[in-house]
Amino acid sequence: MAASGRSGTAGARRARGAGIKALEGWQRSVGSNDLVLAIADTGVDPAQPELAATLPDGRARIAYGINLADGPGAPFADSIGHGTPVAAVMAARTGEGPHLDSLGMAGVCGGDGPRNFGCRLVPIKISPGRTNTASSSTIARAMLYAAAVGAKAMNLSFTGRGPSTLERRALYYALTHGTVVVTAIGNDGGQDGTAARYPAAYAKDGLAIGVGSTDAWDQRSLWSSYGPGLDLLAPGENVWTAWTSYPTANGTTYPGYLQLSGTSLASPHVAGAVGLLAAANPKLADVDFQHLLRESADDLGPPGPDAETGHGRLNAARALATADPALGVWHDEVAATEFHFNGFDTLVVSAADAVDLVRLGGRVYAERFEVRARVAVPDSFVDSVRVWARVGGTSTVRGEFRLPYLAPFAEVVERGPRDFVLRGYVYRAWPPDGDDPIDLPVELDLARFGFTVLGRVNRTPEASVPAPAAKPAFVAAPNPFRRELSLSLPAAGRLTILDVQGRVVRRLDIRGTMPRFVWDGRDVSGHRVRAGLYLVRFETSSGTHHTRVVLLD
């Protein structure tokens, strides 16, 4: 993959309203010395005065730097002049005085002077030697490293043309372990702008935040790509930024500062905004940042999201206003409670990277089930709330039968005054060798949704990160079923199957340790019962277990 920068030094006058509203946003948040942001790039100048500093408590502002491309002990210093300008846009120190015969610059998450230096920086060099390219494996390692050091965000101003299972899995790991990856969308708008650029394309599944560029007149830069994954735009033309304090490997030198263009410069505006949001409201996590930045952006194209400009241009002030720390944030998970058969077709998954898919060959006859869960909003939220599904905690996928890969997906499909409904899909694949069907990505009765609720509260709800749900000892599978339902039972006891009106369909005493019972869909008289929802109750000496099962036609 290659860096997404463009050279250029021409001055530009910006249209009124074309900025990111940083001055207004800084009234709410300027970052925090306890916040860590990472930058995976060609390295960072460790002596650039806009970036390097000793914090009031004695810690170095540039910390945990590493070179993942050239081996242990190799320096992370920027040799070609790409990573340093990108890092400066994200977090050059603000209000610390002039440097290098210039008034200097202010980064998005750069603090407000000698008491608050803004976020700390973690340089991660991913390009070997004096190059501006990086391998997918090194980029994936950078994501894992950023999560390991506790970075709230990682900027990645690199793009490539091919998908990478390794990068996708690393994005999921980073996001679900506290690190949001913000990535440039690419600079091919004038040639093949709609083509997918990776890893930015994975932003369409919530695994990253994809950023394009605007010009001085608040329009999409003509060269800015706009393929899948574009979330929003940020200034990327003639951006004033810092250069290395030494000549680069090819002898290039500037007196401290210059103007550069590219989505490489747009992306760190958004990564810095993630830092501002995280400092303002530490309860935010997962895709919360993506949703807040999208919903607060200034719309530039036709009303609503569109292919070329995404959700619009970054508005840091409005994003911070919508993430007011006084708001309550509720993160939780819920199991699916409704299962609806939703059609037959051939399921095609291009990236057969799951064990079951490898066995199935990535293409197999399948049934699709729409699964839902209704969530009640706690009384602690006093008025209307904002809700969205999270990647973390979600085990359902898209319902399109033609999938590039299996990635968590769910959506809010109903909103009531005090509740909402989440929806996703699970596939039941039938192996060509005649073996038992396989549910993808999880067994139907284990489908779950992660979600966020954000709103005003009269008391702060408990924010939690639930542990993965253990598979219950009382299991009914497959569910829904057509011919037979297998019930794995935790102990001896009494099993009762009832219809939705409470009438007993079957009842029998189960004996033995960890017994198994197969229900063939017939009542006590041997007659086949109607398709529909049935309740299964199992009573033991230690308590009563309940589950719901669906019998299909």
Lowest-pLDDT choice from 6-15, 363-372, 401-410, 419-428:
6-15
* pLDDT at position 43 over 70: yes
- Give the long-range contacts of residues 97-102, CB within 8 A, separation 24 or more: 99/49, 99/50, 99/256, 100/49, 100/245, 100/255, 100/256, 100/257, 101/255, 101/256, 102/255, 102/256, 102/257
Tokens of 62: 């540039």
Residues 28-36 have a mean pLDDT of 96
pLDDT tens readout for residues 237-292: 999 999 999 998 888 888 889 999 999 999 999 999 999 999 999 999 999 999 99
Lowest-pLDDT choice from 33-42, 150-159, 295-304:
295-304
Q: Does a cis peptide bond (omega within 30 degrees of 0) precede residue 466?
A: no
Q: Which residue has the higher pLDDT, 531 or 139?
A: 139
Tokens of 150: 């506790």
Tokens of 105: 């610059």
CATH of domain 2-324: 3.40.50.200
pLDDT at 199: 97
* pLDDT at position 228 over 80: yes
Q: Does a cis peptide bond (omega within 30 degrees of 0) precede residue 478?
A: yes
* pLDDT at position 295 over 90: yes
Lowest-pLDDT choice from 8-12, 40-44, 169-173:
8-12
pLDDT at 219: 95
* pLDDT at position 14 over 70: no
Which strand (E) or helix (H) includes residue 268? helix 263-280
pLDDT band at 9 (very low <50, low <70, confident <90, very high): very low
pLDDT above 90 as % of the chain:
67
pLDDT tens readout for residues 106-146: 999 999 988 899 999 999 999 999 999 999 999 999 999 99
pLDDT tens readout for residues 309-329: 999 999 999 999 999 999 999
pLDDT tens readout for residues 184-225: 999 999 888 899 999 999 999 999 999 999 999 999 999 999
pLDDT tens readout for residues 157-183: 999 999 999 999 999 999 999 999 999
pLDDT, mean over the chain = 89
- Domain ranges, ordered by start, for the chain: 2-324, 330-455, 475-551
pLDDT at 472: 46
Structural contact between residues 296 and 319, judged by C-beta atoms closer than 8 angstroms: yes
pLDDT tens readout for residues 462-505: 544 444 444 445 778 888 888 888 887 777 788 889 886 678 88
pLDDT band at 103 (very low <50, low <70, confident <90, very high): confident
Alpha helices in 177-229 (DSSP H): 189-192
DSSP-assigned states of every residue in 339-403: EEEEEEEEEEES---SHHHHHHTTEEEEEEEEEEEEEEPPTTB-S--EEEEESTT---B-S-SEE
Burial class (CB in 10 A: 0-12, 13-18, 19+), 295: middle
pLDDT band at 49 (very low <50, low <70, confident <90, very high): very high
State the Cα angle at 525 between 522 and 527, rounded to 5°: 40
Tokens of 90: 């994200």
pLDDT at 8: 38
Residues 58-81 have a mean pLDDT of 94
C-alpha 134/C-alpha 158 separation (Å) is: 8
pLDDT band at 11 (very low <50, low <70, confident <90, very high): very low
pLDDT band at 15 (very low <50, low <70, confident <90, very high): low
Q: Which residue has the higher pLDDT, 518 or 236?
A: 236
CA dihedral 480, 484, 485, 486 (to 10 degrees): -140
Domain formed by 475-551, architecture: Sandwich (2.60)
Same fold, 2-324 and 475-551: no
Q: Which positions ≥6 away from 300 have C-beta within 8 Å?
A: 214, 218, 219, 220, 233, 309, 312, 313
